[in-house]
Amino acid sequence: MDAFASRRAWAVAAFLALVAATVQRPAQAQPYAYMSQPTGFVTAVDTLAHRIAGNINLGGLPSGIAVTPIGQRAYVANDNGFLSVIDTNAQAEITRVAVPLHAGHVALSADRKTAYVVSQPGVGSVVSVVSTYTNTVIDSISIAQALGQPLVHPSLPRLYIVDGAANVVRVMDTDHDTFGTPIPVGGSPVALATDSAGRRIYVANQASNDVSVIDTATNAVIATFPAGSQPSSVAVNPAATRLFVANRGSNTVTVINLATGTPTTVSVGAQPSGVDVTPDGAYFVVVSAGSATATIFNVDTLIAAALVPVGGAPEAAGDFVGGQTSTPEPAGILSGLWWNPAESGWGVHLTQRRGILFAAWFTYDPAGAPKWYVASSCTMSPPLPCPTCVANAICSGKLYQTQGPRFFIGTFNPGAVQTTQVGLLEIRFQDKDNATMGYTVGNQGRSVQIRRQAFRPSTPAPAVDYTDLWWNPAESGWGMGVTQQDGTMFLTWFVYDNSGFPTWLVASDCVVSPGGNGCSGTLYRTLGPPGPAASLTFDPARVSVSVAGHIDVAFTDRDNGIVTYTVDGVTGAKAITRQLF
């Protein structure tokens, strides 16, 4: 015990995929879908992890949204007279630009230097031209008509804006701020989309239940496609092979093959308010106000890959999917092992991505047997203003316990994993290395200081840092935490014993291989005093440690690896991959 404690080897990570996808999507794109809520929030949904990435409080009445396909900013027009600028990494509002009242729609130029905001302060409209470099209004154009959603041509100096009352699309020369001849379209046009080359403009017409196709070479309608009842939004995939039309009145999306004109109808949630395509063209996202959901569909199969409940009455007008990152987002600044030095024998492993913390708490049950709890979505409130702005940050979330199948006997059955909420967790950070952890488990509650666990001297960062949560997607319900410092990896393995109860093992001194892509070490198990459900105090003198076996980890690349182990005479091997959330 003394040798083990001298290394301060007290941390373990626990992960349970509470909402696990049956098929992992490619890691090369991680766009977000943004939708406005009538309560003054914008909800951001991670379309890769299939979960809410943040609820951003803007106040007022947010409406139209424009987000860059690849970049770090989203722009939201607000009825109260401002344009919100959102950092898509932190999922937080970083500034506001004052524009006329009743700002309802926004569009971005292809070079992302300019945002065009359409407001209706009176009978007519005002188009505010905003520099995204300085976040200031650099021009303002008034027009007598009440205009709706705008769209910037990707290569020509043109701004297309729907005029629902006159059944036309108006075209503004952005070099001279002048309007040309309006283009007649169907009844009550409400939404626009274009292909990446800007050869066609597609116009959703709500009253005539169709889509007008404008040839941008002539600015004339060359075709009309039928749609469902009351089309509210339209989008086209990057390859310009498919058109997607959200039909608010019939709770459907019409998918049109642009080569043949053949339509296919897909049923979606109630009152779909928006449809958009992910930048890689693999998925399209449908936001449904009536069912308060965002549904992610595979473009090729037209089958739903995930349905994400978002609450409220979400609306999505404009280009609302974007903020892509080219590689999986690394664990954030708060990630790592945390403990209380005066209470050696328990701890918590934190993994941060954006404004979400995954807290895995390793402790003991009322009889002193090892047990883990998990807060899989400890949400920052308010959201972090930047990825490294963590001073005085607070996260709070629900605590869960699990029961599962026997891990070391037979085949792991993820369907046997059961999850129960047992309490609440709150962590208040003084800085990146110190915090106060408060919890309730059953009828017990406590507040205790925790600090980052440093078990090796500070050294330059490794070429690949494997500090993260790791799991096997085919066996949701168990996982492994890796914390890397200097030439040591601290492995924390959360599994189930031969009765199906959650237990944890730890390799506190897993020596990194010469190539830096794996480690080898002894596995330990511990017994301790009664846990948080039974006692408000912790006696480290009652902690005992025994050898459980041996473990080897070999990472095949930065995001995948193989675990080989011997535990109580049982040998085996498991594939692991980074867990994104």
The pLDDT assigned to 5 comes to: 35
Domains, the chain, ranges and CATH? 2-18+329-578 (no CATH), 32-322 (2.130.10.10)
Q: Are 147 and 163 in contact (CB under 8 A)?
A: yes
Q: What is the pLDDT along the chain (581 residues), one digit of tens a residue?
A: 233 333 333 333 233 332 232 223 333 345 899 999 999 999 999 888 788 988 999 999 999 999 976 667 899 999 999 999 998 878 899 999 999 999 999 999 987 889 999 999 988 999 999 998 889 999 999 999 999 999 999 999 999 999 999 999 999 999 999 999 999 999 999 999 999 889 999 999 999 999 999 999 999 999 999 999 999 999 999 889 999 999 999 999 999 999 999 999 999 999 999 999 988 888 999 999 999 999 999 998 899 988 999 999 999 988 999 875 444 567 888 998 999 999 999 999 999 887 789 999 999 999 999 999 999 889 887 777 777 788 888 999 999 999 999 999 999 998 899 999 999 999 999 999 999 999 999 999 999 999 999 887 766 678 888 989 898 878 888 999 999 988 899 999 999 999 999 999 999 999 999 989 999 999 999 999 999 999 999 999 999 999 999 999 999 888 889 999 999 999 999 999 888 77
Residue among 52, 34, 42 at smallest CA distance from 310: 52
The pLDDT assigned to 486 comes to: 82
CA–CA dist 390, 384 (Å, integer): 7
- Kindly report the pTM of this predicted structure: 0.57
The pLDDT assigned to 256 comes to: 97
- Three-state SS letters, 353-411: ECCEEEEEEEEECCCCCEEEEEEEEEEECCCCCCCCCCCCCEEEEEEEEEECCCCCCCC
Residue among 167, 232, 158, 231 at smallest CA distance from 201: 158
Q: How far is CA 247 from each of CA 77, 186, 329, 366, rounded to the nearest angstrom?
A: 23, 15, 34, 55
The pLDDT assigned to 160 comes to: 98
The pLDDT assigned to 459 comes to: 64
The pLDDT assigned to 454 comes to: 87
CA–CA dist 536, 288 (Å, integer): 46
Q: How far is CA 37 from each of CA 117, 261, 273, 315, 570, rounded to the nearest angstrom?
A: 19, 34, 12, 7, 53
